[in-house]
Amino acid sequence: MKIGVLALQGAVAEHMRSLEAAGAEAVAVKQTQQLEELDGLVIPGGESTTIGKLMRKYGFMDAVRQFSGQGKPLFGTCAGLIILADQIEGQEEAHLGVMDMVVARNAFGRQRESFETDLPVKGIEEPVRAVFIRAPLIKEVGEGVDVLSTYNGEIVTARQGHLLASSYHPELTDDYSLHAYFVNMVKEAAANR
């Protein structure tokens, strides 16, 4: 399985390390034509407004929508979750708008309010080590979206078919179980294509 990490901003190397630990071949994606050779794509954390601007500037919006339209899995972490959402609180326009959810930016407060926790996630045996840094929150999900985990009653991991989103950074720990979950999603999607 060849899985890309969108390399415009954010923890690209960390995601690549986690994907490789989970048995995939990881590729740093800097050009849209690289998408053609990939089975899945991770959109990392960073600053969602900046990532959105860079995606527009380099032609990634349409290219990634097309990629997703072929049933190829996308995994958005932290800012990547905001990029996937079809509604962002307080913002008129979404970025990719492919996942049926309403998200709130920086819902967990400022940088100094960052924290780590062990999070039970549906479909993964052991709790996932999750790092929350200025994390967004999934406020609402549509009918086709499966809530995989909550923290203090708030949705922090969700899946909609071939789309996976987490409010937190799983790549900043040595726990690659959520990446392994995504690699399995990619394998299933490739088998069904």
Is the distance from CB of 69 to CB of 51 less than 8 angstroms? no
Written in H, E and C, the secondary structure of 26-43 is: EEEECCHHHHHHCCEEEE
* Helix (H) and strand (E) counts in the chain: 5, 12
Residue from 15, 162, 169, 179 carrying the catalytic annotation: 169
Whether residue 169 lies in the annotated active site = yes
The verdict on whether 140 is a catalytic residue reads no
Token pair of 184 as six digits: 């399995």
Look up 171 and say whether it is catalytic.
yes
| Active-site residue, from 14, 78, 162, 179 | 78
Judge contact between 71 and 192, C-beta under 8 A.
Answer: yes
Task: Out of 15, 95, 162, 171, pick the active-site residue.
Answer: 171
Axis crossing angle, helix 60-69 with helix 48-57, rounded to the nearest 10: 90
The alpha-carbon radius of gyration of the chain (Å, integer) is 15
Place of tokens 């048995």: 23
What residues act catalytically?
A: 78, 169, 171
